[in-house]
A and B are shown apart, each in its own frame.
Chain A
Amino acid sequence: MLKTVVAHSEDPDSLDAVQEVIEQCKNQLNGTEPQAGILFAAIDFDFSLILEEINQVFPNLELIGCTTDGEMSSVLGFQQDSLALMLFCSDTIQIRAGVGHQVKENPIDAAKVAVEQATQKSSEQAKLCLCLPASYIGEGLTTSGESILKGLKLALNPEIPIVGGTAGDRYKFTKTYQFFGSQVLTNSLPILIFSGDILFSHGISCGWQPFGRKAVVTKSVGTVLYEVEGKSAVSFYQDYLGDRPPRAENPLAVFDGDSDSYYMRVPNTHDSEVGSINFLGDIPEKTVVQITDISRNEVIAASKISFENALKNYPGEKPTAALLFSCCCRRWLLGTRSKEEYELVEKTLDREIAVLGFYTYGEFAPLEPNGSTYFHQETFVTLLLGTE
């Protein structure tokens, strides 16, 4: 049995918001003690205060969370500047939290520490890993989603799916925070490990469309793209954006080999003098890249496709909870239509389940059931949880 409750407050006052959230939870729990929780908070809140309040009410809660670029839940739908909490109660599932630190400097070790901490607390084999790592850690520095993923894969049984998203900071791209128990952290990797008789499924979809000319990457090192067809990466973007810097709204579609399928890479920082662009993910040399743009209808439709895929792949009959991880660029580009992403998901459901989600700076999920996990951008990831 898995009981999931979700609470959501749009009150900008930290104390009022957390009290409202706790109140909502207590009303739904009816005295049942929650085992674990996930907290998503807008960047302006007083996080210490919020975590302290939660800790006082639920002292043994295995809680992780992070700051976001927008929150969504089955309580208030899509919100910004809000606080959302999901709590899990179960006798048959073990949900344990772990955290790794210095994830930028040492992602492999951080992942190892986090996984060990969580798995040591469970008596059963891990089945699913949920992660909410740092992205921006201040002073223009970022973690590497791919390195974090590599670390988690090394620390876990390779067959364990990893689902989640990197923390956000309301589209400021400066500093994000992560939560672990009552601690407010930066540059960290909080995770939840699910074991026991948990059933789950996931689905992903994107909706971006490549346009313009296809060009071959002639020089790149890791996440830094230097040259495209002998011209600087910045000038490749300038062909489309003029003298504006490369932006997250126009990520690159990266084609591997002659295949028509591609994955997305979002530009992060750039060096005008060298003409290089640092992306939020590796861009290998000799791959073919193409700039992309969005059609809002297709982006919204992608959230539905993602959710439907997850539903189709769910091994049981009735999922109890849904976790959504949608890229911040989607929210930004959808603007006032952002709420439609959640509304479409809600319409797809034939009954009420607890839904919690946030807008991320990068998503983790396998491409297909039983497949290896990838680090995504601009993507909508659905994770369904349940026991029946």
Chain B
Amino acid sequence: MPSIDHESRIKKLEKTIRTLTKKLERSEADRQQLEIASEDRKLVLKGIIKDLENSEIALKERRKELENALSNLKTLQLKMIEAEKMSALGVMVAGIAHEINNPISFIHGNLEHAYTYFQDLLRLIELYQQNYPQPVAVIKKEIERIELDYIKEDSQKLLKSMNIGVERVRDIVLSLRTFSRLDEAEFKSIDIHQGIDSTLVILNHRLKPHPENSYGIDVIKNYGKIPFVECYPGPLNQVFMNIIANAIDAVEEGLNTPTLPDKDKYRTPTIRINTEINDDLVVIRIADSGTGISEAALLKLFDPFYTTKKIGKGTGLGLSISYQIIVDMHGGKLECSSSDLGGAEFTIVIPLVQSLGTSN
């Protein structure tokens, strides 16, 4: 029947329309959701990018940290080698000083007796001459040969100069022992002037006139009245040594640099050491008339391995170690500025008593 056919076709079409309408509705809804989802995914991507950026920054920081750690380790290693060397040197110096001290002590002790014996003998000869004015020919001849009158005259000078020499050796030995101060790894109250002086004694050969510096170096000491200072004596002496040795280098460099414009300035090579008390702080200034320190060098002065000296002459560790000794060990300050003498001036500030450290 055609009517049934139509009915069934209409039914089919109605179903198709229903289904398609439903699908369309669903598609619309899905599309809206997709748009939202697409926005969301964009945000996710931004999140990932942010994450990556953050981790890149973190990595860079980490790399910096590692580089720093590596450089610190290298520094530490070199410092350890240096410290080891210094310590070994200290032991050796102390040993040598001790070994020299004994023979010098008995030379020094016997020199006086030798002088007395000699004087006694000379006086005895004089007595002989007075009582036997006409000696036999052989004695007369020998008196002339040995120039007895000259011996009489010179022996006194000779023994005196021997005495001075021995005294000098004793001074040096004492200075070496003071300087190395092996037994003093702990805080101790000491006279810092003694420390500075023994350093100067050790460096004396460089202060006196010598072929490279025919003028020698004037050392002006303006010591204030300073009580005993609580410090690590050994390391503090090492600081004096580093700074004074640097000052000598700077002064000599000035003398040996003909191209320097104002050469006359260096004609009176001078190192000046001032000490004073400022409240509870000890201030030690070591100034020189050397070549001075450039602005650029001032910034890196206390960095490990920074040196302006020729290759092989300096390790670049002296001032960095000094800085550590003053700042870290003693809670003090170490600064450098220009000196009125034309060169540099180092100022060491340490507390008189350690509980009053400037860093505290």
Instruction: Give chain A's interface residues, CB within 8 Å of chain B.
Output: 10-13, 16, 80-81, 171, 211-213, 239-242, 244, 247, 249-250, 293, 332, 335
Contact = CB atoms under 8 A, between A and B. Distances in A.
B50 interface: yes
Contacts, number: 52
A12 B33 contact: no
B55 interface: yes
B60 interface: no
* B interface, over-half SS: helix
28 contacts: A10-B19, A10-B22, A11-B18, A11-B19, A12-B21, A12-B22, A13-B15, A13-B18, A16-B18, A80-B26, A81-B22, A81-B26, A171-B33, A211-B48, A212-B47, A212-B48, A212-B51, A239-B50, A239-B51, A240-B44, A242-B46, A244-B39, A247-B40, A249-B37, A250-B44, A332-B33, A335-B30, A335-B34
Interface string B18-29: 110111001000
B10 interface: no
A241 B43 contact: yes
B20 to A, nearest CB: 10
A286 to B, nearest CB: 23
Given A12-B21, A81-B22, A212-B48, 15 more contacts: A11-B15, A11-B18, A12-B22, A211-B48, A212-B47, A213-B51, A240-B43, A240-B47, A241-B47, A242-B47, A244-B39, A247-B40, A249-B40, A332-B33, A335-B30
Contacts of B33: 171, 332
Contacts of B15: 11, 13, 16
Nearest to B25: A81
A81 B18 CA distance: 11
Contacts of B22: 10, 12, 81
Listed from nearest, the 9 A-B pairs whose CB atoms lie closest are A240-B47, A12-B22, A242-B43, A81-B22, A12-B18, A241-B43, A240-B44, A10-B19, A11-B15
A239 B52 CA distance: 11
Nearest to B40: A244
Contacts of A244: 39-40, 43
The A interface is mostly helix, strand or loop, or mixed, namely loop
Nearest to B50: A239
B58 to A, nearest CB: 10
A11 B22 CA distance: 9
Contacts of B48: 211-212, 240
Nearest to A240: B47
Contacts of A332: 33, 37
Nearest to A239: B47
A8 to B, nearest CB: 12
Contacts of A16: 15, 18
B47 to A, nearest CB: 3
A365 B19 CA distance: 34
Contacts of B26: 80-81
Nearest to A333: B37
B340 to A, nearest CB: 59
Contacts of B37: 249, 332
